Amino acid sequence: MSNTDANFQQLFPPTSQVNKDNENPTLSVNHLTPTDDQIKDWLQSPQIKQWLRKLLMGIPNNLKVEAINTIIKNVIQNPDKDYQVQFGSSTIGVYVLRWQLWAAYKLPYASGIKTPDCPYTLKKHLDTLD
């Protein structure tokens, strides 16, 4: 039994805090820190509205717009926290590490769930403005 324990520790050495700390600066360097206006402009852009209209989520377009407005309000209050809004079995959310909008919904008469990410990210939006 002690032989197995020794081999286990060799296969899976304990992780040190130093390694974890070295990974975090890379993530924070790549992480965007947009202004409130940049977030609003991106989430209210025609590209986002068009993407939401195409989704067959089973919720009306006016509720999708309301979800985006709720996301904007909450993300501006706390830009380091992901946020999502749920309507029945459909959800729209934003992943703030990549600043990407996503949705999750069940297709009518289907057993699977669709979870598309919006291809129009905040980074793309900012790049088009330059």
Write the pLDDT tens digit of every residue in 76-118. Answer: 999 999 999 998 889 999 999 999 999 999 877 777 888 999 9
- Comparison of pLDDT for 24 and 61, the residue scoring more: 61
Number of domains in the chain: 1
- What per-residue confidence (pLDDT) applies to 68? 96
Give residue 16's pLDDT: 41
Return d(Cα 53, Cα 55) in angstroms, integer: 6
What pLDDT score was predicted for residue 2?
A: 47
Domain that holds residue 45: 34-129
Contact 97, 31 (CB under 8 A): yes
Higher pLDDT, 6 or 81: 81
77 domain residue, yes or no? yes
Determine the Cα–Cα distance for residues 56 and 53; give it in Å rounded to an integer: 8
Among candidate residues 43, 83, 42, 37, the one with its CA nearest the CA of residue 64? 43
> What are 32-81's pLDDT values in tens digits?
789 999 999 999 999 999 999 998 788 899 999 999 999 999 999 999 99
Cα 40 off chain centre by: 16
Q: How far is CA 124 from CA 2, 101, 127, in A?
A: 55, 12, 5
Is residue 75 within 8 A of residue 85, CB to CB? The reply is no
Q: Is residue 22 part of a domain?
A: no
Determine, yes or no, domain membership for 14. Answer: no
108: which residues sit within 8 A by CB, 6+ positions away?
Answer: 56, 58
Higher pLDDT among residues 51 and 3, named by residue: 51
Instruction: Tell me if residue 89 falls in helix, strand or coil.
Output: coil
Give the start-end residues of each E strand in the chain.
83-87, 90-95, 100-106, 113-114
Kindly state whether residue 116 falls inside one of the protein's structural domains: yes
